Structure 1
Amino acid sequence: MAETVPHPNRIAAISLDESTVLARGPQVEQERGAALRDLVVDSHFRPIRAIELGHSGPWSLDLAVVDGRLAIGLRDHHGRDAGGIGLGLARFRRTVREYFAICDSYFKAVRKASAQELETLDMARRGIHDRGARHLLEALDGKVELDHDTARRLFTLVCVLHIRA
Protein backbone atom coordinates (compact mmCIF):
# COMPACT_ATOMS: atom_id res chain seq x y z
CA MET A 1 0.00 0.00 0.00
CA ALA A 2 1.40 3.40 -0.98
CA GLU A 3 2.16 5.88 1.77
CA THR A 4 0.42 9.24 1.36
CA VAL A 5 2.69 12.24 1.07
CA PRO A 6 1.64 15.22 3.21
CA HIS A 7 0.50 18.22 1.19
CA PRO A 8 3.45 20.64 0.98
CA ASN A 9 1.38 23.84 1.13
CA ARG A 10 0.30 23.47 4.72
CA ILE A 11 1.47 24.23 8.23
CA ALA A 12 3.07 21.23 9.93
CA ALA A 13 4.02 22.95 13.19
CA ILE A 14 3.52 26.33 14.78
CA SER A 15 4.91 27.95 17.91
CA LEU A 16 4.23 31.21 19.70
CA ASP A 17 6.82 33.36 21.41
CA GLU A 18 5.49 32.81 24.93
CA SER A 19 7.69 35.60 26.32
CA THR A 20 5.40 38.18 24.70
CA VAL A 21 2.30 36.75 26.39
CA LEU A 22 1.97 37.71 30.03
CA ALA A 23 -1.44 36.39 31.07
CA ARG A 24 -4.19 34.25 29.55
CA GLY A 25 -7.48 33.00 30.89
CA PRO A 26 -8.88 29.51 30.36
CA GLN A 27 -11.10 30.60 27.45
CA VAL A 28 -8.11 32.13 25.64
CA GLU A 29 -6.05 29.00 26.28
CA GLN A 30 -8.85 26.93 24.78
CA GLU A 31 -9.01 29.16 21.67
CA ARG A 32 -5.21 29.11 21.32
CA GLY A 33 -5.07 25.33 21.59
CA ALA A 34 -7.88 24.85 19.08
CA ALA A 35 -6.26 27.23 16.57
CA LEU A 36 -2.88 25.49 16.87
CA ARG A 37 -4.42 22.03 16.44
CA ASP A 38 -6.65 23.08 13.56
CA LEU A 39 -3.79 24.74 11.69
CA VAL A 40 -1.72 21.55 11.80
CA VAL A 41 -4.66 19.33 10.85
CA ASP A 42 -6.07 21.48 8.03
CA SER A 43 -4.42 24.55 6.55
CA HIS A 44 -3.40 26.03 3.24
CA PHE A 45 -0.19 28.06 3.56
CA ARG A 46 2.12 28.77 0.63
CA PRO A 47 4.86 31.38 1.32
CA ILE A 48 5.71 32.72 -2.13
CA ARG A 49 9.23 34.10 -1.49
CA ALA A 50 10.39 30.97 0.35
CA ILE A 51 9.22 28.80 -2.53
CA GLU A 52 10.95 31.09 -5.05
CA LEU A 53 14.16 30.57 -3.03
CA GLY A 54 13.84 26.79 -3.45
CA HIS A 55 12.25 25.85 -0.13
CA SER A 56 9.23 23.59 0.15
CA GLY A 57 6.77 22.66 2.84
CA PRO A 58 5.09 21.53 4.88
CA TRP A 59 6.07 24.61 6.87
CA SER A 60 6.91 25.29 10.49
CA LEU A 61 6.03 28.76 11.74
CA ASP A 62 7.33 30.73 14.70
CA LEU A 63 5.08 33.67 15.60
CA ALA A 64 6.25 36.57 17.73
CA VAL A 65 5.66 40.25 18.22
CA VAL A 66 8.91 42.16 17.71
CA ASP A 67 9.01 45.96 17.90
CA GLY A 68 5.28 46.25 17.27
CA ARG A 69 5.35 43.94 14.28
CA LEU A 70 4.15 40.41 13.79
CA ALA A 71 7.19 38.32 12.93
CA ILE A 72 6.49 35.03 11.15
CA GLY A 73 9.61 32.88 11.02
CA LEU A 74 9.50 30.10 8.44
CA ARG A 75 11.22 26.73 8.33
CA ASP A 76 10.85 24.30 5.46
CA HIS A 77 10.16 20.58 5.67
CA HIS A 78 13.87 19.91 6.31
CA GLY A 79 13.84 22.32 9.26
CA ARG A 80 15.97 24.88 7.38
CA ASP A 81 15.42 28.60 7.83
CA ALA A 82 13.17 29.69 4.94
CA GLY A 83 13.12 33.39 5.80
CA GLY A 84 10.42 35.35 7.47
CA ILE A 85 7.55 37.72 7.02
CA GLY A 86 6.95 40.88 9.02
CA LEU A 87 3.62 42.65 9.30
CA GLY A 88 2.83 45.91 11.02
CA LEU A 89 0.25 45.29 13.73
CA ALA A 90 -1.33 48.76 13.68
CA ARG A 91 -3.89 47.63 11.08
CA PHE A 92 -5.08 44.88 13.45
CA ARG A 93 -5.33 46.84 16.72
CA ARG A 94 -8.92 48.02 16.40
CA THR A 95 -10.19 44.61 15.27
CA VAL A 96 -8.25 42.84 18.04
CA ARG A 97 -9.63 45.27 20.63
CA GLU A 98 -13.21 44.74 19.32
CA TYR A 99 -12.68 40.97 19.28
CA PHE A 100 -11.49 40.95 22.90
CA ALA A 101 -14.45 43.12 23.96
CA ILE A 102 -17.05 40.89 22.28
CA CYS A 103 -15.39 37.73 23.59
CA ASP A 104 -15.43 39.17 27.10
CA SER A 105 -19.13 40.02 26.73
CA TYR A 106 -19.85 36.55 25.39
CA PHE A 107 -18.01 34.72 28.19
CA LYS A 108 -19.72 36.86 30.85
CA ALA A 109 -23.12 36.27 29.23
CA VAL A 110 -22.72 32.49 29.11
CA ARG A 111 -23.80 32.23 32.76
CA LYS A 112 -26.92 34.36 32.61
CA ALA A 113 -28.01 35.22 29.06
CA SER A 114 -30.78 33.61 27.06
CA ALA A 115 -29.98 31.36 24.10
CA GLN A 116 -31.06 34.19 21.76
CA GLU A 117 -28.70 36.68 23.43
CA LEU A 118 -25.81 34.21 23.27
CA GLU A 119 -26.49 33.54 19.61
CA THR A 120 -26.48 37.27 18.86
CA LEU A 121 -23.19 37.76 20.70
CA ASP A 122 -21.67 34.71 18.99
CA MET A 123 -22.69 36.02 15.56
CA ALA A 124 -21.06 39.36 16.36
CA ARG A 125 -17.92 37.57 17.61
CA ARG A 126 -17.71 35.52 14.41
CA GLY A 127 -18.23 38.64 12.29
CA ILE A 128 -15.33 40.46 13.96
CA HIS A 129 -13.19 37.31 13.71
CA ASP A 130 -13.95 37.11 9.97
CA ARG A 131 -13.00 40.78 9.57
CA GLY A 132 -9.66 40.07 11.27
CA ALA A 133 -9.10 37.15 8.88
CA ARG A 134 -9.80 39.43 5.89
CA HIS A 135 -7.29 42.00 7.24
CA LEU A 136 -4.72 39.22 7.55
CA LEU A 137 -5.43 37.97 4.01
CA GLU A 138 -4.96 41.53 2.71
CA ALA A 139 -1.75 42.03 4.69
CA LEU A 140 -0.29 38.76 3.39
CA ASP A 141 -1.39 39.29 -0.21
CA GLY A 142 1.61 38.77 -2.48
CA LYS A 143 3.57 37.18 0.37
CA VAL A 144 1.59 34.07 1.29
CA GLU A 145 -1.25 32.25 -0.37
CA LEU A 146 -3.68 31.05 2.28
CA ASP A 147 -7.36 30.27 2.58
CA HIS A 148 -9.92 32.01 4.77
CA ASP A 149 -9.99 29.26 7.43
CA THR A 150 -6.20 29.38 7.80
CA ALA A 151 -6.34 33.19 8.05
CA ARG A 152 -9.05 32.92 10.74
CA ARG A 153 -6.96 30.57 12.84
CA LEU A 154 -3.85 32.70 12.41
CA PHE A 155 -5.86 35.77 13.44
CA THR A 156 -6.76 33.94 16.66
CA LEU A 157 -3.04 33.55 17.35
CA VAL A 158 -2.39 37.22 16.52
CA CYS A 159 -4.98 38.03 19.19
CA VAL A 160 -3.29 35.75 21.70
CA LEU A 161 0.03 37.51 21.06
CA HIS A 162 -1.65 40.85 21.86
CA ILE A 163 -2.62 39.83 25.39
CA ARG A 164 -0.95 41.75 28.17
CA ALA A 165 -1.37 41.37 31.91
Structure 2
Amino acid sequence: MAEDRPDAGFGPADRLIEIALDENSIARSTPDIEHERAIAVYDLLEDNRFRVVTYEAGGPYRLLIGVVDKKLFLDVTHEDGDRIVTHVLSLTPFRKIIKDYFLICESYFHAIKTASPSQIEAIDMGRRGVHNEGSEVLQTRLNGKIDIDLDTARRLFTLVCALHWKG
Protein backbone atom coordinates (compact mmCIF):
# COMPACT_ATOMS: atom_id res chain seq x y z
CA MET A 1 0.00 0.00 0.00
CA ALA A 2 1.43 3.34 -0.95
CA GLU A 3 1.63 6.16 1.52
CA ASP A 4 -1.28 8.58 1.69
CA ARG A 5 0.68 11.66 0.66
CA PRO A 6 -0.11 12.76 -2.89
CA ASP A 7 2.51 11.41 -5.31
CA ALA A 8 4.39 9.50 -2.54
CA GLY A 9 6.31 6.90 -4.52
CA PHE A 10 4.16 7.38 -7.60
CA GLY A 11 5.53 8.51 -10.95
CA PRO A 12 3.65 10.59 -13.52
CA ALA A 13 2.60 7.45 -15.45
CA ASP A 14 1.21 5.72 -12.33
CA ARG A 15 -2.39 6.58 -13.06
CA LEU A 16 -5.59 5.45 -14.72
CA ILE A 17 -6.37 7.06 -18.06
CA GLU A 18 -9.56 5.12 -18.80
CA ILE A 19 -12.20 3.32 -16.77
CA ALA A 20 -14.92 1.20 -18.32
CA LEU A 21 -17.78 -0.62 -16.65
CA ASP A 22 -18.31 -4.20 -17.82
CA GLU A 23 -21.68 -4.05 -19.56
CA ASN A 24 -22.17 -7.83 -19.19
CA SER A 25 -22.05 -7.70 -15.41
CA ILE A 26 -23.56 -4.31 -14.66
CA ALA A 27 -27.18 -3.99 -15.65
CA ARG A 28 -28.48 -0.74 -17.05
CA SER A 29 -30.47 1.22 -14.56
CA THR A 30 -32.33 4.47 -14.15
CA PRO A 31 -30.88 7.67 -15.64
CA ASP A 32 -30.11 8.91 -12.10
CA ILE A 33 -28.07 5.82 -11.27
CA GLU A 34 -26.29 5.94 -14.62
CA HIS A 35 -25.46 9.59 -13.89
CA GLU A 36 -24.02 8.69 -10.46
CA ARG A 37 -21.85 6.01 -12.06
CA ALA A 38 -20.62 8.45 -14.70
CA ILE A 39 -19.74 11.00 -12.00
CA ALA A 40 -17.84 8.34 -10.03
CA VAL A 41 -15.81 7.42 -13.13
CA TYR A 42 -15.16 11.07 -13.97
CA ASP A 43 -13.99 11.87 -10.43
CA LEU A 44 -11.68 8.88 -10.40
CA LEU A 45 -10.12 9.79 -13.75
CA GLU A 46 -9.63 13.42 -12.75
CA ASP A 47 -7.18 12.58 -9.97
CA ASN A 48 -5.76 9.17 -9.18
CA ARG A 49 -2.58 7.34 -8.20
CA PHE A 50 -2.59 3.75 -9.47
CA ARG A 51 0.25 1.27 -9.98
CA VAL A 52 0.28 -2.47 -10.63
CA VAL A 53 2.92 -3.71 -8.22
CA THR A 54 4.22 -6.58 -10.36
CA TYR A 55 4.25 -4.73 -13.69
CA GLU A 56 7.68 -3.21 -14.13
CA ALA A 57 6.88 -1.33 -17.36
CA GLY A 58 4.51 0.95 -15.45
CA GLY A 59 1.47 2.86 -16.60
CA PRO A 60 -0.60 4.62 -17.55
CA TYR A 61 -3.35 2.05 -17.20
CA ARG A 62 -6.86 1.27 -18.40
CA LEU A 63 -9.29 -0.38 -15.99
CA LEU A 64 -12.33 -2.51 -16.71
CA ILE A 65 -14.41 -3.00 -13.59
CA GLY A 66 -17.38 -5.22 -13.00
CA VAL A 67 -19.20 -7.54 -10.65
CA VAL A 68 -19.57 -11.26 -11.40
CA ASP A 69 -20.88 -13.88 -9.01
CA LYS A 70 -20.75 -11.44 -6.09
CA LYS A 71 -17.11 -10.68 -6.79
CA LEU A 72 -15.51 -7.46 -7.91
CA PHE A 73 -13.16 -7.82 -10.83
CA LEU A 74 -10.56 -5.31 -11.90
CA ASP A 75 -9.12 -6.02 -15.33
CA VAL A 76 -6.04 -3.86 -15.87
CA THR A 77 -4.42 -3.21 -19.24
CA HIS A 78 -1.61 -0.93 -20.29
CA GLU A 79 -2.51 2.21 -22.23
CA ASP A 80 -1.53 0.41 -25.43
CA GLY A 81 -4.08 -2.34 -24.73
CA ASP A 82 -1.70 -5.08 -23.54
CA ARG A 83 -3.40 -7.07 -20.77
CA ILE A 84 -1.53 -6.82 -17.48
CA VAL A 85 -3.61 -8.54 -14.81
CA THR A 86 -7.12 -9.30 -13.62
CA HIS A 87 -7.77 -9.19 -9.89
CA VAL A 88 -10.93 -10.74 -8.49
CA LEU A 89 -11.94 -9.63 -5.01
CA SER A 90 -14.66 -11.07 -2.85
CA LEU A 91 -17.26 -8.44 -2.03
CA THR A 92 -18.02 -10.10 1.31
CA PRO A 93 -15.72 -7.75 3.30
CA PHE A 94 -17.52 -4.80 1.70
CA ARG A 95 -21.15 -5.91 2.09
CA LYS A 96 -21.82 -4.47 5.55
CA ILE A 97 -19.87 -1.29 4.79
CA ILE A 98 -21.80 -0.72 1.54
CA LYS A 99 -25.11 -1.41 3.29
CA ASP A 100 -24.21 1.01 6.10
CA TYR A 101 -23.05 3.59 3.56
CA PHE A 102 -26.36 3.43 1.68
CA LEU A 103 -28.35 3.68 4.92
CA ILE A 104 -26.43 6.70 6.13
CA CYS A 105 -26.66 8.37 2.69
CA GLU A 106 -30.42 7.85 2.78
CA SER A 107 -30.53 9.42 6.25
CA TYR A 108 -28.44 12.32 4.97
CA PHE A 109 -30.77 13.01 2.04
CA HIS A 110 -33.80 12.91 4.36
CA ALA A 111 -32.03 15.16 6.89
CA ILE A 112 -31.28 17.80 4.28
CA LYS A 113 -35.02 18.43 4.01
CA THR A 114 -35.86 18.76 7.69
CA ALA A 115 -32.89 18.57 10.06
CA SER A 116 -30.82 21.32 11.63
CA PRO A 117 -27.38 22.14 10.20
CA SER A 118 -25.68 20.49 13.19
CA GLN A 119 -27.70 17.28 12.69
CA ILE A 120 -26.84 17.25 8.99
CA GLU A 121 -23.17 17.78 9.79
CA ALA A 122 -23.20 14.90 12.30
CA ILE A 123 -24.76 12.55 9.75
CA ASP A 124 -22.27 13.68 7.11
CA MET A 125 -19.36 13.01 9.48
CA GLY A 126 -20.71 9.49 9.97
CA ARG A 127 -21.04 9.05 6.22
CA ARG A 128 -17.43 10.11 5.70
CA GLY A 129 -16.30 7.70 8.41
CA VAL A 130 -18.05 4.75 6.76
CA HIS A 131 -16.68 5.85 3.37
CA ASN A 132 -13.15 5.96 4.80
CA GLU A 133 -13.62 2.48 6.27
CA GLY A 134 -14.60 1.11 2.85
CA SER A 135 -11.64 2.87 1.24
CA GLU A 136 -9.21 1.39 3.76
CA VAL A 137 -10.64 -2.11 3.24
CA LEU A 138 -10.16 -1.66 -0.50
CA GLN A 139 -6.55 -0.55 -0.04
CA THR A 140 -5.91 -3.54 2.22
CA ARG A 141 -7.51 -5.98 -0.23
CA LEU A 142 -5.34 -4.62 -3.07
CA ASN A 143 -2.16 -4.53 -0.97
CA GLY A 144 0.71 -6.23 -2.79
CA LYS A 145 -1.24 -6.21 -6.05
CA ILE A 146 -2.16 -2.63 -6.86
CA ASP A 147 -0.87 0.46 -5.09
CA ILE A 148 -3.37 3.29 -4.71
CA ASP A 149 -3.33 6.31 -2.47
CA LEU A 150 -6.17 7.03 -0.03
CA ASP A 151 -7.86 9.57 -2.33
CA THR A 152 -7.88 7.05 -5.19
CA ALA A 153 -9.18 4.36 -2.82
CA ARG A 154 -11.97 6.73 -1.77
CA ARG A 155 -12.94 7.43 -5.39
CA LEU A 156 -12.73 3.76 -6.32
CA PHE A 157 -14.88 2.82 -3.31
CA THR A 158 -17.42 5.41 -4.47
CA LEU A 159 -17.50 3.67 -7.84
CA VAL A 160 -17.93 0.26 -6.20
CA CYS A 161 -20.89 1.70 -4.28
CA ALA A 162 -22.31 3.24 -7.45
CA LEU A 163 -22.14 -0.18 -9.11
CA HIS A 164 -24.33 -1.56 -6.33
CA TRP A 165 -26.77 1.31 -6.11
CA LYS A 166 -30.25 0.23 -7.07
CA GLY A 167 -31.96 3.54 -6.30
TM-score, reference length from structure 2: 0.84
Q: Which aligned segments of 4 or more residues in structure 1 are displaced greater than 4 angstroms?
A: 28-31
Matching residue within 79, 85, 101 for 2:103 = 101
Question: In the alignment, what sits opposite 2:5?
Answer: none
Runs (5+) with no aligned partner, structure 2 = 1-10
Matching residue within 4, 12, 15 for 2:17 = 12
CA distance in 1, matches of 2:28, 2:86: 24
Worse-superposed segment, 140-149 or 104-113: 104-113
- 1:2-34 deviation digits (Å, cap 9, x = unpaired): xxxx921001111122452454573x5554333
Question: In the alignment, what sits opposite 1:69?
Answer: 71
Matching residue within 32, 37, 40 for 2:42 = 37
Q: Tell whether 2:149 aligns with 1:147.
A: yes
Closer, same or farther in 2 for the Cα pair 1:152/1:164, shift >3 Å? Answer: same
Q: Secondary structure of 2:18's partner? A: strand
Runs (5+) with no aligned partner, structure 1 = 1-5
Q: Secondary structure of 1:64's partner? A: strand
Question: In the alignment, what sits opposite 2:125?
Answer: 123
CA distance in 1, matches of 2:31, 2:138: 24
Aligned length: 156
CA distance in 2, matches of 1:24, 1:102: 21
TM-score, reference length from structure 1: 0.85
Question: In the alignment, what sits opposite 1:3?
Answer: none
CA contact (8 A) 2:28 2:34 kept: no
Question: In the alignment, what sits opposite 2:160?
Answer: 158
Overall identity of the aligned pairs, in %: 41
Matched ranges for 1:85-100 at <5 A: 85-100=87-102
CA RMSD between the two structures = 2.0
Worse-superposed segment, 101-110 or 126-135: 101-110
Worse-superposed segment, 134-143 or 28-37: 28-37
